[in-house]
């Protein structure tokens, strides 16, 4: 696999449920990023990891959101007690080293009813 | 706080035209600038990466320039084709204490008519 993969591609859930998204980065990339994109807007930064360490979190990432990257490989983004405002495309990207080119996955689209 | 602005918000041109998309950013302390393409409902595809020490990058019909001191970048598309229709996003990678994080503009929606 030469690209970033995300799963699931689409998720429809009811308000109040928990959802989890997975991202598998390009294998040699040590940095992994999560972004959120709503319709007609550019992606907004949520958080990023260097290896297994979470180095920065946006204020957009409320306490209902948690991200992990165990062993510096794949990452998960969990949203607890989903709200309709969480409906968006969740994008994962990876890069190698500082100032490396970012490569994005196809995204996971969340719809909260 | 870094802010990125893209002009125009939308552009419609006939096939074959050369066109320019503009991107401006408020904080010149950047590591690099990256242009992306996004098709509807899809992820982002990287087009060009310009390091802060570079002035331009070229790939096929695409040429991107960077003027870091004035906080501007342009993406030039030569001989546009209907397949170029997509949203084009500009993003700057932060320096300083927030190194690594990309800040995006809202994008330019490009439509190329046959």
Whether B54 shows a pLDDT value over 60: the answer reads yes
Q: Give yes or no for residue B14 having a pLDDT over 70.
A: yes
Query: What span, in angstroms and rounded, lies between the C-alpha atoms of B44 and B38?
Result: 5
B30: nearest CA in chain A? Answer: A99
Of B43, B98, B103, the CB nearest to A104: B43
Distance between CA atoms of B110 and B88, rounded to whole angstroms?
A: 7
**Residue range A91-101: mean pLDDT, rounded:** 87
- A35 band by pLDDT with thresholds 50, 70 and 90: very high
Distance from CA of B105 to the nearest CA of A (A): 6
> A75 has which bridge partners?
A23
| Mean pLDDT computed over every residue of chain A | 93
The pLDDT of residue B10 is: 96
* Residue A78: pLDDT band with limits 50, 70, 90: very high
**Contact check, Cβ <8 Å, B46/A101:** yes
> pLDDT > 70: what percent of chain A?
99
């Amino acid at each position: 696999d030469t690209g970033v993969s995300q799963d699931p591609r689409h998720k429809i859930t009811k308000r109040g449920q928990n959802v989890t998204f997975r991202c598998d980065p390009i294998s040699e990339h040590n940095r992994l990023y999560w972004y959120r994109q709503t319709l007609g807007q550019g992606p907004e930064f949520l958080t990023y990891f260097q290896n297994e360490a979470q180095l920065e979190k946006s204020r957009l990432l409320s306490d209902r959101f948690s991200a992990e990257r165990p062993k510096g490989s794949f990452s998960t983004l969990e949203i607890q007690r989903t709200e309709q405002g969480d409906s968006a495309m969740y994008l994962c990207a990876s890069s190698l080293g500082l100032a490396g080119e970012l490569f994005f996955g196809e995204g996971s689209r969340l719809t909260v009813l | 706080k870094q802010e990125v602005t893209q002009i125009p918000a939308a552009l419609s041109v006939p096939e074959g035209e050369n066109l320019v998309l503009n991107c401006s950013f408020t904080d010149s302390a950047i590591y690099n600038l990256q242009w992306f393409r996004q098709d509807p409902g899809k992820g982002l595809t990287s087009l060009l990466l310009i390091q802060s020490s570079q002035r331009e990058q070229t790939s096929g019909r695409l040429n991107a320039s960077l003027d870091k001191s004035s906080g501007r970048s342009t993406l030039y598309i030569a001989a546009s084709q209907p397949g170029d229709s997509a949203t084009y996003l500009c993003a700057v990678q932060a320096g300083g204490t927030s190194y690594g994080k990309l800040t995006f503009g809202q994008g330019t929606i490009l439509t190329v008519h046959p």
